[in-house]
Amino acid sequence: MGWIILIYRLSPNDSRARVAVWRELRRSGALHVQQSVVAVPDDTAFAGVVERLRDVLAEVGGQVSALRAEPAAGGDDAWNAARDAEYRELAGERAKFLAEIDHEFEIEKFTHAELDEEEAELDKLKRWHQRTQARNVHGAPGADAAGRALRQAEEALARYSAAVFEHTQP
């Protein structure tokens, strides 16, 4: 699989533009090659990334050039390292989620409001995992561990949900 290399230019004095582009690049999972140069796999899953970046840059008065390239040795490794970093961060957030659920059991806080918060947090973790999985086109090795971590979070929430049900029934 090849790569799409995006080279962009922004006004150096417009921090709003830099933040808008940074947010879009972060959301897309693009691999930073060097300042103002990013790469995404040349795959249909990333076609929207190129168009969204073009749109954001046009909105803020920037410019972008897109080039197709064949991978050099190690190109997939850099992409997988970026995905593995995302998976590790997700696992770290899952650990915080599990600690929060354990804390609720310790203090016996079995309320619907708390359950709603924990469900929203798990939904956030699931969306994050889905976004990372969609970008994992080169088979990053951390994917399996992240999937297991998410299942552990789901199991913990199921346990907590059952406890809330048991404690709130008349």
* Annotated domain spans of the chain: 3-71, 76-168
Residue 76 has pLDDT above 70, yes or no: yes
CATH of 3-71, one of 3.40.50.300, 3.40.50.720, 3.30.70.240, 3.90.1150.10: 3.30.70.240
The reported pLDDT for the residue numbered 74 is 63
The reported pLDDT for the residue numbered 125 is 96
In this prediction, residue 14 has a pLDDT band, given cuts at 50, 70 and 90, of: confident
Residue 161: exposure state from Cβ atoms within 10 A (0-12, 13-18, ≥19): middle
The reported pLDDT for the residue numbered 110 is 96
Tell me the C-alpha distance between 19 and 90, whole Å.
Answer: 23
119-125, long-range: CB < 8 A, 24+ apart: 119/157, 119/161, 121/97, 122/97, 122/153, 122/154, 122/157, 125/90, 125/93, 125/94, 125/97, 125/150, 125/153
Q: What does DSSP say about strands 37-41 and 31-34: parallel, antiparallel, or unpaired?
A: antiparallel
Amino acid (1-letter code) at residue 35: Q
In this prediction, residue 71 has a pLDDT band, given cuts at 50, 70 and 90, of: confident
* Averaged pLDDT, 157-161: 96
Residue 72 has pLDDT above 80, yes or no: no
